[in-house]
Structure 1
Amino acid sequence: MRLYDTHCHLDFSAFDKDRSQVVAGAQRVGVERFMLLGITEQQWSNLIKLCDDFSPAFRFSLGLHPYFIHQHQSTHINALASCFESLSDSARARCQAIGEIGLDATCEQPKLQKALLDQQLVLAKNYQLPVILHHRKTLDELLKSVREKRVEHGVVHAFSGSYEQAAAWVDQGFKLGIGGTITYERAKKTRDAIQRIGVEHLVLETDAPDMPLCGYQGRRNEPKRVAQVLQSLAKLLETSTEAISPVLWKNSTALFN
């Protein structure tokens, strides 16, 4: 069984003491690739170095996450473009998305958030890369921006919307990132949407060290838990992990080519 954790933060300090063991544990349950996310200008260089030095299974994206809006300036768009242009050939091959970008209604400076989002969407079009989108109470507003910029490839990280919202994103050409949320029985709206939308539109993720699965609240999340997300998804879809894991792998590798 081949698994891809399409969204994790293995460069975070939460993994500094046992990163090798965490990766090995994930690989033992079938995780063959890991997508690590760019979130701030200050973090990019360390992220790139980690992916170059640590494991051939690592891939990465570069972006300006709205949660860290107080660390961003409008000039960081130029810095992002320069960072892409300066990547070595090996790093460029591993840099497979613009992200994590998006809109967050719980964070300040909505105008700056929107300006940075729009400019990063343009960069994604220019570099012919998919986008990895963060949302919080902004799914519909985010879709409007994506449509305006005619971006047709990417993933909605930690999808938690309705079936109608899921269908709208799928129509736009996006995959839905499925993680710990579906392991909670109370997430009825999202579970219903995922059940109806079809596995061909999904990718697996953990968001490690955040977004723990049901039963692991208060504990550090890890990429190995993606295997449990797969089990929960198979149960939700009333099928087997063997039936859907090849589809999910294909979805992920096609998206992050």
Structure 2
Amino acid sequence: MTERRDTFIDTHVHLDAPEFLPDLAAVRARARDQGVACCVLPAVQARDFERARALAHEHGDVYALGIHPLYVAAAEDTDLDRLDQALTRHRDDPRLVAVGEIGLDLFVPALREEPLRRRQIFFYREQLKLAKKHGLPVILHVRRSADLLLQGLRELARPGETWRGIAHAFNGSLQQAQAFTALGFKLGFGGALTYERATKLRELARVLPLEALVLETDAPDIPPHWLYTTAAQREQGIAQGRNEPGELPRIAQTLAELRGLDLGQLALATRANAWAALPRLGALMGAQGGALASEATACRD
């Protein structure tokens, strides 16, 4: 059976979030109806590891295991051992595609100060080491922390060695984007680029090489502009719409328009990019060496 050219991969969505508890099956069904063939479900804390894995298996998706920088304050050092054990226990699970979501957050004031700044750097570097130990890509949380993340990646790589993975919700400079891609990363773009006022981000999404880009929603977070309500509107009782993976094709349409591409071309290219960033995902979807990957390469030329 030939796969649709407009099939999408949501490379970052938190289906285990409490916002989805009442109607998760319907949320995933809507996304599938919109052409979202696969979602990447990153865990954010040790207690969520098995939940992320179970959801991926239940809905035909894939998952990553990691400790998010926003959760390091509550994490125990032994959670790193739990991560190592989970990665070992599930090493033969084809749906385990990465270590993540890990990284650094220097936006939250408390995380910029000691001792949490030092603690999140410790967790970040230890999880990079676990990714190398288990031969897995990494999914990075990048919020006002690109240079420090890049420093850790360079210091923990052997000479000439590159990484695989995704810098999720990327919002850095062109120079930082180029540094991540030079190290082997793809860059995640989602709902933030749908806002016309996000001029720097939209320009970045327009000028970066197409092979650098993957699509994501980060649902239920980072809603696209059509779901967003202002504080004043919320005070008037107008609820903000919930972001879902089913919004991905509409987000993708914004990116396609910015780049002057047909939506099908963008779907093919970003899908191939996701397979490259997360090789087990490519193997699971039967993409290795397939015609679709060749088509995606051709559409860049």
TM-score by length of 1: 0.95
Partner of 1:169: 180
Per the alignment, in what secondary structure is the counterpart of residue 225 of structure 2?
A: coil
For residues 171 and 129 of structure 1, what CA distance do their matches in structure 2 show?
18
For residues 102 and 91 of structure 2, what CA distance do their matches in structure 1 show?
23
1:3 deviates by 0.3
Q: Deviations over 1:183-233 (max 9, x none)?
A: 011111111112111211110000001100012112210001110111000
Q: Deviations over 1:75-128 (max 9, x none)?
A: 211111011122274xx2111000000001114301110111101111111111
Q: Deviations over 1:23-51 (max 9, x none)?
A: 11111111000100111011112222222
Supply the AA of the counterpart residue of 1:49: A
Confirm whether residue 68 of structure 1 aligns to residue 66 of structure 2.
Answer: no
Partner of 1:96: 97
Partner of 2:123: 116
Confirm whether residue 196 of structure 1 aligns to residue 207 of structure 2.
Answer: yes
Kept in 2, the 8 Å contact 1:163–1:190? The answer is no
1:180 deviates by 0.7
Greater alpha carbon shift after TM alignment, 43-52 vs 189-198: 43-52
What is the CA RMSD across the aligned residues, in angstroms?
1.3
1:240 to 257, 262, 266: 262
1:136 deviates by 1.5
The 1:88/1:238 distance shift into structure 2, 3 A limit, reads closer
Which consecutive aligned stretches of 4+ in structure 1 deviate over 4 angstroms post-superposition?
A: none
Structure number with bigger Rg: 2
Partner of 2:15: 10
Partner of 2:45: 40
- Residue identity (%): 36
For residues 32 and 243 of structure 1, what CA distance do their matches in structure 2 show?
16
Kept in 2, the 8 Å contact 1:74–1:112? The answer is no
For residues 242 and 34 of structure 1, what CA distance do their matches in structure 2 show?
18
Kept in 1, the 8 Å contact 2:141–2:168? The answer is yes
Kept in 2, the 8 Å contact 1:160–1:181? The answer is no
Partner of 2:274: 252
Q: Which runs of 5+ in 1 are unaligned?
A: none
For residues 3 and 118 of structure 1, what CA distance do their matches in structure 2 show?
31
TM-score by length of 2: 0.81
Partner of 2:165: 154
Kept in 2, the 8 Å contact 1:59–1:94? The answer is yes
Supply the AA of the counterpart residue of 1:139: A
Q: Deviations over 1:119-160 (max 9, x none)?
A: 111111111111000021111111111111125111110011
Partner of 1:139: 146
For residues 117 and 91 of structure 2, what CA distance do their matches in structure 1 show?
34
Kept in 1, the 8 Å contact 2:65–2:99? The answer is yes
Kept in 1, the 8 Å contact 2:9–2:36? The answer is yes
1:244 deviates by 1.7
Q: Which runs of 5+ in 2 are unaligned?
A: 1-5, 229-239, 280-301
Supply the AA of the counterpart residue of 2:35: G
Partner of 1:83: 86
Q: Deviations over 1:51-94 (max 9, x none)?
A: 23x222x10000000011222122211111011122274xx211
Per the alignment, in what secondary structure is the counterpart of residue 42 of structure 1?
A: helix
Kept in 2, the 8 Å contact 1:26–1:224? The answer is yes
Partner of 1:206: 217
Kept in 1, the 8 Å contact 2:87–2:134? The answer is no
